[in-house]
Structures are given as structure tokens and as C-alpha cells.
Amino acid sequence: MKIDDVDRKILQLLTENGRLSYVDIGKELNLSRVAVRERVNQLIDGGVIERFSVVINSEKVGKQVSAFFEVDCEPAYLVEVAQTLADNPSVASCYQMTGPSTLHMHVLVEDFTALEKFVNNELYSLEGITRVESHILLRRFKSRNGLKL
């Protein structure tokens, strides 16, 4: 799908505020509500916009500890481990990275007791994991969901 400057501007506006109405976007770009709706639908149908979502401040809902993990797996277990971890409600994101069958994972939990429980009961109990490295987030300077145009 070809993306033109108008599509980019629509995506930028929606990235900044996903609650903007088609009318408000149209006013900003000198387009009709119908034209904006049609372009947004084309972006959805073309797979450019995957979904609309809400960004929740994890600390405000009781998830005080944010940790990142590098998890090395035996190649035969990589997909199974990744799927199990991805299904865990404490796992905010899970990606396969370059390297020796490495997963990169972001975990959000209530406190350090919950983190210890996650590591011991949910992570170390999985067959096929060969190494785990963790990093605790101290302070967030920038956080972004999705691509910024």
C-alpha cells in the first residue's frame, strides 16, 4: 500500500491522540469527514493501522516494578517458551532477537515479591531455557508505542 503525505499526517494525528474524530482530523487537514474516514479505513484494510488501543500508565494501576529480560533458549524450545511467556499476564511484550535463540521480554508486576515469584515460578520452571539476564527499570525517559512518523 502506498502511503502519501496526507496519510502520514492522519497517522501522526492519530498517534498523538487516538480519540480524534474524523471531523477534527478533517479540519486540521482541510478534508471532509468522509474523506478522512475512507483514508483511515484504507489504512486499516491495508494493514498499516493494526489496531487502536489505550496506553495505560502501569504504575497508576499498581504495577510498580518494570523489568526487562534476555532469555536464551535451546532452539528446539524457543517457540514453545516464547508462546508460554507471551500468554503470561505479567509479560507486556516478548520478542525473538538475533543471537543464540534469544527472547527479549518486558515484565510488569506489583512489587519485588511478585517479580521474584514470576522469575522462580513462571520463568525458571520452563524447560529449554539456558540463560536469563534481567534488568530493572529505574526511570523512564521516553516510552513509545508503535511507529512514530
- Residue of 52 and 33 predicted with greater confidence: 33
Distance CA 30, CA 111 (A): 49
Query: What's the angle, vertex CA 55, arms to CA 54 and CA 56, rounded to 5?
Result: 110
Distance CA 15, CA 23 (A): 16
pLDDT in tens, 75-114: 999 999 999 999 999 999 999 988 777 999 999 999 999 9
CATH topology of domain 5-45: Arc Repressor Mutant, subunit A (1.10.10)
Distance CA 107, CA 86 (A): 10
Query: Do the domains at 5-45 and 58-136 have one common CATH topology?
Result: no
Instruction: For the chain, give the mean pLDDT.
Output: 91
The domain ranges of the chain are: 5-45, 58-136
**Single-letter amino acid, residue 81:** V
Q: How many residues does the chain have?
A: 149
Report the top-level CATH class of 58-136.
alpha beta
What would you measure as the largest C-alpha separation in the chain, in angstroms? 57
